[in-house]
Structure 1
Amino acid sequence: MTKTSSNAALAQARIAIISANWHTDVVHQARDAAALRLQQLGAAPARIHQVEVPGAFEIPLMAQKLAASGKFDAVIGCAVIVNGGIYHHEFVSAAVVDGLMRVQLDTGVPVFSVALTPHNFQPSEDLLGFFHAHFVKKGEEAADSCAQTLAAHAAVDALLDEAVPA
């Protein structure tokens, strides 16, 4: 996949970035980094839409609504799922990732997850710097994956549209 084919696929793509409102100081690092990287790769800023939901658990339903609308070419979900010591995070993270995969398979719209469960997340000053940087990196990686996936789908769509010689 060339950079040019990724850029061409992004030029007309409409992308939703859903972010959870828990720990927005960290989550918005991924959201903003993904949006910036998508623009650097050729996405039009007006075609990148940000949607907020209360928490990570609400991301799959919103992703389904956006993907099923037929108005979005890709969806990225961003959240911090905190390990609070009661194993709740394991159920939530599994539900979120499974839900996002289901949305992707049910709608045919690529869905990307930056819903992360940092080990022993503590919002201390020292660790916040680490988590901010980590979420920037993960947002950029999600944007890169989004661009590459949209280009791959465009290439396969073109292949499928080709006439097959008899």
Structure 2
Amino acid sequence: MNKPLFSNAPAGAVSSNERPRLAFIQACWHRDIVDQCKVSFLDAIKEYGYSAGDIDLFEVPGAFEIPLHAKRLAQSGRYAGIVAAGLVVDGGIYRHEFVAQAVINGLMQVQLETGTPVFSAVLTPHHFHGEEHVKYFREHFLVKGAEAARACADTVSKLSALVAA
């Protein structure tokens, strides 16, 4: 087990009131796929000394709604980091690239305006057809959840060290 990045104490030795709180926002479109990111994130973040009680989970209808939710959470001052997960696919009605770009730009704007780091696990496949892609992205979101946990824990720790210095 890794040592928590936000404390010099061994994992599990930090009291819950000392641990930074994190928020995880999930889009509900393609929930069966995106849920894998949440599951993986919650499992992996434990390696950095966090518990499930340190994470607040939020759901929004789709990826387009994530940036505003992230901004409100960041403005609350309760969270040291915010993770966003969603899957934007080409549904044939609009160009999914525009939605994906708006979401990513919005998330970047939130972190720059508020100083709260925001991590994106919002994926945009070029092609998404049939069960083969569903299986692939379920597995891929497991990887992305663990990557988001590592990036979040590391960044929160490093930003905290900058403030303490």
Which TM bucket (shorter chain)?
0.7 to 0.9
Out of 24, 27, 47, the residue aligned to residue 40 of structure 1 is 47
Within 2, Cα distance between the matches of 1:29 and 1:109? Answer: 24
Within 2, Cα distance between the matches of 1:27 and 1:57? Answer: 15
Answer yes or no: is the 8 Å Cα contact 1:81–1:117 preserved in 2: yes
Answer yes or no: is the 8 Å Cα contact 1:75–1:111 preserved in 2: yes
Within 2, Cα distance between the matches of 1:38 and 1:7? Answer: 12
TM-score (norm 1): 0.87
Out of 97, 107, 116, the residue aligned to residue 123 of structure 2 is 116
Structure 2 equivalent of residue 145 of structure 1 = 151
Computed over aligned residues only, the root mean square deviation of the Cα atoms, in angstroms, reads 1.8
Out of 107, 110, 133, the residue aligned to residue 103 of structure 1 is 110
Alpha-carbon shift at residue 127 of structure 1 (Å): 2.3
Alpha-carbon shift at residue 7 of structure 1 (Å): 4.9
User: What is the percent sequence identity of the aligned residues?
Assistant: 44
Give runs of aligned pairs for residues 26-105 of structure 1, distance below 5 A. Answer: 26-85=33-92, 88-105=95-112
Within 2, Cα distance between the matches of 1:147 and 1:47? Answer: 12
Which deviates further from its counterpart, 107-116 or 35-44?
35-44
Q: 1:157 to 1:7 in 2, by over 3 A?
A: closer
Structure 1 equivalent of residue 131 of structure 2 = 125
Answer yes or no: is the 8 Å Cα contact 1:26–1:135 preserved in 2: yes
Matched to 1:134, the amino acid is: H
Query: Which one has the bigger helix percentage?
Result: 1
Out of 151, 155, 158, the residue aligned to residue 161 of structure 2 is 155
TM-score (norm 2): 0.88
Which deviates further from its counterpart, 104-113 or 35-44?
35-44
Within 2, Cα distance between the matches of 1:74 and 1:153? Answer: 10
1:118-165 per-position Cα deviation (integer Å, ceiling 9, x unaligned): 12112x222222111101101110110001101111221122xxxxxx
Within 1, Cα distance between the matches of 2:150 and 2:95? Answer: 30
Within 2, Cα distance between the matches of 1:84 and 1:137? Answer: 24
Residue 5 of structure 2 aligns to a residue in which SS? Answer: helix
